[in-house]
């Protein structure tokens, strides 16, 4: 069965510092991987996806993610964090058989000024 | 394009009442997914529908919950005889088809509180 794991419930980072939000996956076949962000009392917004091609994927708001097949990881990164990046981040994998998105438990990113 | 519209945004029900949550996907999106987000938990898949068809309902409780996506009108998630444990945020997402690379677009959610 397809699954993703987000090992950190919360990540704290100072504004201006680089940030990393971790995600590992378990899939059979080629993975379709996604990152979404959720601001308080809002729905999920798409950030980026990996389908095939370059391992480094660039997305919205300056975020990027690196697909690493040997480590089965898809970590979300940003070179310089902003206070406004503080939100809940979800990693997800597409289930090839049923087409649904399977989400991780989410990581709360807190950026301190 | 108004995006995915969900209503009501907030719904309060007493135990035993019925809750109906509606979702209108974006134009061109014929596939709808419903997810539930419980406090302190992630998003759990409930059901996947195409117009007039349920494709996958493996995440939906067998009793009291039902979903439909009629040929005309919004998708409806119906919860009968609600209990306190049904209190959660319910999100709907729309997609354009069976291509796994398609991005799902989420609505702002409907927050159900059961008293």
Residues in B closer than 8 angstroms to A41, CB to CB, are 108
For chain A, list the strands marked E by DSSP: 3-5, 10-14, 19-21, 24-26, 33-38, 44-50, 56-58, 64-68, 73-78, 87-94, 101-103, 107-112
Q: pLDDT per residue over B68-83, tens digit each?
A: 999 999 999 999 999 9
- Name residue, tokens 């899939």: A27
Name the pLDDT band for B102 (thresholds 50, 70, 90): confident
Partners of B101 on chain A (C-beta within 8 Å) are 32, 49, 51, 94
Of residues A45, A49, A105, nearest to B42 (C-beta): A105
Neighbour tally for B91: CB within 10 Å? 25
Q: Is B99 exposed, middle or buried (0-12, 13-18, 19+ CB in 10 A)?
A: exposed
Q: Do A99 and B100 touch (CB under 8 A)?
A: yes
Asked if B79 contacts B86 with a C-beta cutoff of 8 angstroms, the reply is yes
CB-CB under 8 Å, B33 with A101: yes
Segment B33-86, tens digit of pLDDT: 999 998 777 899 999 999 999 999 999 999 999 999 999 999 999 999 999 999
Contact B56 A42 (CB under 8 A): no
Closest C-alpha among B55, B51, B52 to residue B25: B51
Q: Which of A45, A113, A40 is nearest to A82 (CA)?
A: A113
Put simply, the answer to whether B55 touches A90 (Cβ < 8 Å) is no
Residue from A112, A67, A105 nearest A88 by CA: A105
């Amino acid at each position: 069965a397809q699954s993703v794991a987000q090992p950190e419930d919360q990540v704290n980072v100072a504004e201006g510092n680089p940030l990393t939000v971790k995600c590992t996956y378990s899939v059979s076949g080629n993975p379709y991987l996604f990152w979404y962000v959720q601001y308080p009392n809002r729905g999920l917004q798409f950030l980026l996806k990996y389908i095939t091609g370059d391992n480094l994927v660039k997305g919205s708001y300056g975020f990027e993610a690196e697909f690493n097949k040997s480590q089965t990881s898809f970590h979300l990164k940003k070179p310089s964090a902003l206070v406004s990046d503080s939100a809940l981040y979800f990693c997800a994998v597409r289930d090839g058989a049923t087409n649904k998105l399977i989400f991780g438990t989410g990581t709360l990113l807190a950026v301190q000024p | 394009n108004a995006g995915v519209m969900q209503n009501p945004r907030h719904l309060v029900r007493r135990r035993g009442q019925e809750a109906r949550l509606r979702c209108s996907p974006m134009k061109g999106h014929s596939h709808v997914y419903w997810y539930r987000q419980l406090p302190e938990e992630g998003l759990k898949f409930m059901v996947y529908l195409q117009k007039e068809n349920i494709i996958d309902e493996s995440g939906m409780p067998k009793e009291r919950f039902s979903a439909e996506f009629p040929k005309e009108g919004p998708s409806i998630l119906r919860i009968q005889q609600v209990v306190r444990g049904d209190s959660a945020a319910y999100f709907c997402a729309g997609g354009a088809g069976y291509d796994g690379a398609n991005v799902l677009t989420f609505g702002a959610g409907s927050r159900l509180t059961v008293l």
